[in-house]
Amino acid sequence: MLRIELEFGGGLESLTGGNKVVPVEFSEEQLTLDRVIDYIRTNLIKEKHEYFVQGEYVRPGILVLINDVDWELEGKTRYVVQQGDRITFISTLHGG
């Protein structure tokens, strides 16, 4: 059983009913981050999917972080999720 923590910020928490932290469990022994994103898209988010994805991909303007590090440095969707990982999705802000 793979237990990880999903985190949503910068307004994205509105897609998960205001929950900023969502613990999830996967029965797979091994899975990559694209599967986690697919899980969020199909199971976690009930409406307004266009605020999270464009097609299958995380929409522009969302920063994805694996244990506080930009996913670009970790292989993006090919990253192999580890027990206890914290995956953060943050929408960039523009107000001032």
Partner 1 sequence: MTTSDKLDVTRYSRQILLPQFGKKSQQQLLSKKILIIGAGGLGCPAALYLAGAGVGSLGIVDNDTVEISNLHRQIAHKESLEGKPKAESLREAIRSLNSSVQVQVILQRLTQYNVLEVIADYDIVLDCTDNVLTRYVINDACAVSRKPLVSGAAIGWDGQITVYCASNDCPCYRCIFPEPPPPHCVGSCDANGVLGPIPGIIGCLQALESIKLAACIEQAQVLIGRLLVWDGLTSKCRVFQLRTRNPNCVACGVESRKDFCDYDYASFIGCSPSVCVIPSEKRLSPREAKERIAQSNGDSSEYFCLDVRPSVQYELCHIEGFHNIPLDQLASRVTEIQQQVNQGKRILVICRRGNASQQAVALLSSWNIHPVYDIFGGIEEWRKQCDPSLPYY
Query: Residues in the site for partner 1, rule: CB under 8 A?
Result: 9-11, 20, 48, 50-51, 54, 59-63, 65, 68-70, 72-73, 88, 90-96
Nearer to partner 1, 43 or 95 (CB): 95
Q: How far apart are CA 62 and CA 84, in angstroms?
A: 22
Nearer to partner 1, 29 or 68 (CB): 68
Q: How far is the CB of 43 from partner 1 (least distance, A)?
A: 20
Q: ∠ CA(8), CA(11), CA(1), 5° rounding?
A: 15
Nearer to partner 1, 10 or 26 (CB): 10
Q: How far is the CB of 65 from partner 1 (least distance, A)?
A: 5
Nearest to 84 by CA among 69, 66, 71, 70: 66
Q: Are 20 and 5 in contact (CB under 8 A)?
A: no
